[in-house]
Amino acid sequence: MPRHAKKPRPLVADGRPYMWTMRHSHRKDNDGRSVDCRQILTFSPQPAGTGGPLRIVFTEGPGRYVPGGAYTGSGDVGFTQGAGLNLHEPGAARALLGVALARGWQPEERRPVELDGCLLLEPAAAARAAYAGGPKESEGDFSPSGT
């Protein structure tokens, strides 16, 4: 039976459990048309109420892509001339979370935090590639330094 696309998924990073979801959204312009395609990866520290959510947001723009076109998969984000990830993959989500943690995101803070996913993409893709040769995605912990 396939996984329900909107159901939160468990993930562990640096010994701490999280639940994560991925959503696709659009802003409406003055005429009511959908514009500004966005892919949002949200991590919620567990147990619930122990910290605020982290939202990693990928937006369309020059030199980058997000899902929504004929040439990309539903979870693909990246640069047209560079790094890319599939946000459906737990290893990609784990890599992005690891980079956010390494750059100072504090999961204990109770306020929501939003980060530009394009700023995290290249180091996360590099960490993901390095991690791909290690244990299966469902095993163990991830840290961006590979330790």
Q: Is the confidence at residue 2, as pLDDT, over 70?
A: no
Place 4 in a pLDDT band, splitting at 50, 70 and 90: low
Arithmetic mean of pLDDT over the chain: 82
Give the number of other Cβ atoms within 10 Å of residue 23's Cβ: 14
Q: Which is it for the CA torsion 87, 2, 19, 143, positive or negative?
A: negative
Q: Which is it for the CA torsion 132, 134, 136, 138, positive or negative?
A: negative
Average pLDDT over residues 80-96: 91
Place 3 in a pLDDT band, splitting at 50, 70 and 90: low
Q: Is the confidence at residue 128, as pLDDT, over 70?
A: yes
Measured between alpha carbons, how far is 19 from 9 in angstroms, rounded to an integer? Answer: 5
